[in-house]
Structure 1
Amino acid sequence: MPKLTKLLGSVAIAACLAGAAFAQDTKDLKADTVVATVDGQDVTLGQMITVREGLPPEYLQLPDDVLFNGILDQLVQQTALSKIGEGMKTKKDDIALEVERRAYLAGIVLDKTATDAASDAAIQKAYDEKFVNAAPGVEYHAAHIIVPTEDEAKAVKADIDGGKDFAEEAKEKSQDGAAQNGGDLGWFTLDKMVPEFSEVIATMKPDEVVGPIQTQYGWHVVKLFDSRPAQTPTLDEVRDQISAELRQTAVQDRVTDTLKSAKVVKETDGLDPAVLKDTTILGK
């Protein structure tokens, strides 16, 4: 059904060629302002605005009059067809509508939760705590050579100890994207690396080569170039990152807290998980 709705909307908008001139002051308009009736059922301005908000960006580039008439045609068609569909819908359709209703209402809660959590004041506070008021961190500049086995890593380390250039060895033997740059990982903070790697880096001195080090990715031989106090990013540089973190945390907390206070009783004993494949149940 959703696919048909999208197709219908696309056809209606694409086929709309004629525009209309409007002079009514928008301050006199409301969400329930009627723009059309179909067999006595109202189509409202609020419904039109809601459809527009859900359109992909390419449609929003259309002239206002073209978009207005296209959306109106779509809603008129949907309203006419929905009257027929009301008498045709099955139990499966009722279930689908209820699932969509619950998902939409849950989305309202989580959207508002995320928006409230990422206010300008909250972002500023998080920025101050993480960067301004926190103890200055350290950045490290290092390179590594990564190979599949410990024996290979030992051989690499022996070659370098014997005088072979680290960058050339990396280009020849390392098996990750940094190999083409001589294994250079650039500047990074320890929290950006896996613990096994970071723990070793934190103890190294400039120009020191250490290995083998095992991580989930393989066996590493590491060279530290230098370290320095971490540079504090500006608020604008990390605003999106902080906003995303605040939103994600708030949503997770809201879900957790809601479920803690909800009375949930699962009655799934004896149910085979494969039962979800039996679509005939939807007709019962």
Structure 2
Amino acid sequence: MPKGLTFLPSLALTAMMALPLAAETQPDASTVVARVNGDEITLGHVIATVAALPPQYQQAEDDVLFDFVLEQLIQQQLLGQQQDGLNKLNTLRLKNEERSLLAVQTVTALTDTVVTDEAIQAAYDAQYNDFAGEDEFEASHILVETEEQANDLKAQLDDGADFAELARAHSTGPSGPNGGALGWFGKGQMVPEFETAVVALEKGQVSDPVQTQFGWHVVKLNDKRKTEAPALDAVREELAQTVQQDAIQARIDELTQQAQIDRPALEGAGPEVLRQLDLIQE
């Protein structure tokens, strides 16, 4: 037998093995975390409250958040015990909240069913399979104050002068130090006169002077392309919302057709009393 190790007598070992293990209880939504004059606040109440908090509160540490919410619930319970029940206004609010929550449950169940990877892919294909793309332009310009300056620059360019060098030397626009380069842009991003000039150019061509509210431009079209359809992952959330909204609206239309909905035309029970809170106050 290794030194330092001993065996319990067999009788004692048998008795020890016969002892019942302590039952481990896992907390659940009904676990009571506080009692206020006998009224119970459960773990479920705390979790449900936290789930409804605004995002800024969700960033708090869990131990801080737990203590904060529990203390709030205790204080609410203390104050609430001072009332015999809800007044008319709050009873109506509670009914509206119940109606809203039930509708949300239906929407959530429907969303879980219809918003699938297959449905999102189908929505993507329907929207982008025939995507032709929009024109995009990569252009440079030289901006000056007068038409005479613009004409002189155009003549130099026609004689073979370097566009970028002239832009750096003469352009008053913010793109001048960069050789007049404007980068890529699509239709509607430039003032109309400038866009019209760009659209009329062929790749590598330089325009005649063009006047806009900013002055006189000489424009060069460096390149032109068509926009590509976005990747599926880039529009997944947008497509998921579309699938969801379409499914919800379809379900509402179906339920509306099946339902009997009456809207009695009552005298004095319309918009004219919408803000009369005295009607729902005791």
Q: Please say which of residues 110-119 and 40-49 is displaced more in the overlay.
A: 110-119
SS at match of 1:36: strand
Q: 1:185 to 1:261 in 2, by over 3 A?
A: farther
Distance 1:140-1:96 versus aligned 2 partners, 3 A rule: same
C-alpha displacement at 1:90, in angstroms? 2.1
Listed as ranges, the matches of 1:1-284 within 5 Å are 28-85=26-83, 87=84, 89-131=86-128, 134-141=129-136, 186-187=185-186, 207=201, 230-271=227-268, 272-283=270-281
The offset of 1:239, in angstroms, is 1.0
Q: Is the 8 A contact 1:114 1:248 kept in 2?
A: no
| Other-structure match for 1:155 | none
Q: What SS does the corresponding residue of 1:263 show, helix, strand or coil?
A: coil
Residues 93 and 228 of structure 1: CA distance in aligned 2, closer, same or farther (over 3 Å)? same
RMSD: 3.9
Distance 1:64 1:50 in 2: 14
Q: Please name the residue that 1:177 is paired with.
A: none
1:106-162: CA deviation from partner (whole Å, max 9, x where unpaired)? 22222333444322332123223333xx234232248xxxxxxxxxxxxxxxxxxxx
Following the alignment from structure 1 to structure 2, what is the Cα–Cα distance between the partners of residues 185 and 259?
A: 49
Is the Cα contact below 8 Å between 1:115 and 1:247 reproduced in 2? no
The one-character-per-residue Cα deviations of 1:137-192 (angstroms, maximum 9, x if unpaired) are 232248xxxxxxxxxxxxxxxxxxxx9xxxxxxxxxxxxxxxxxxxx99337xxx9
CA 1:262/1:227 → structure 2, altered by over 3 Å: closer, same or farther?
Answer: farther
Q: Which runs of 5+ in 1 are unaligned?
A: 1-24, 143-162, 164-183, 193-200, 209-224
In 2, Cα distance between equivalents of 1:111 and 1:207: 53
Residues 112/206 of structure 1: CA separation in 2 closer, same or farther (3 Å cut): farther
Task: For residue 75 of structure 1, report the CA deviation from its aligned partner.
Answer: 1.4
> Are residues 125 and 263 of structure 1, via their aligned partners in 2, closer, same or farther at CA, if it must alter by over 3 Å?
same
**In 2, Cα distance between the equivalents of 1:80 and 1:70?**
16
Give 1:47's aligned amino acid.
Answer: H
Q: 1:43 to 1:80 in 2, by over 3 A?
A: same
For the residues of structure 1 that align with 2:267 and 2:80, how far apart are their CA atoms?
A: 39
Quick one: which amino acid aligns to residue 81 of structure 1?
L
Deviations 1:37-66 (A, max 9, x none): 222222111111111111223322322221
Structure 1's 206 and 250: CA in aligned 2 closer, same or farther, altered over 3 A?
A: farther
- 8 Å contact from structure 1 (residues 118, 246) kept in 2: yes
CA distance in 2, matches of 1:59, 1:230: 41
1:120 and 1:28 map into 2 onto residues whose CA distance is: 36
Taking structure 1 as reference, are residues 267 and 136 closer, same or farther at Cα in structure 2, changes over 3 Å only? closer
Q: Which runs of 5+ in 2 are unaligned?
A: 1-23, 138-150, 152-182, 189-195, 203-220
| 1:262 alignment partner AA | A
Give the alignment's TM-score, normalised by structure 1.
Answer: 0.56
Q: Are the structure 2 counterparts of residues 136 and 91 from structure 1 closer, same or farther at C-alpha, using a change threshold of 3 Å? A: closer
Q: Distance in 1 between matches of 2:134 and 2:56?
A: 43
2:244 and 2:226 map into 1 onto residues whose CA distance is: 29
Normalized per residue, which structure has more helix?
1
Q: Distance in 2 between matches of 1:135 and 1:277?
A: 51
SS of the residue 1:277 aligns to: coil
SS in 1 for 2:98: helix
SS in 1 for 2:82: helix
Provide the identity percentage: 31
Given that residues 139 and 187 in structure 1 are in contact (C-alpha distance below 8 angstroms), is that contact kept between their aligned partners in structure 2? yes
Q: Structure 2 length as normaliser, TM-score? A: 0.57
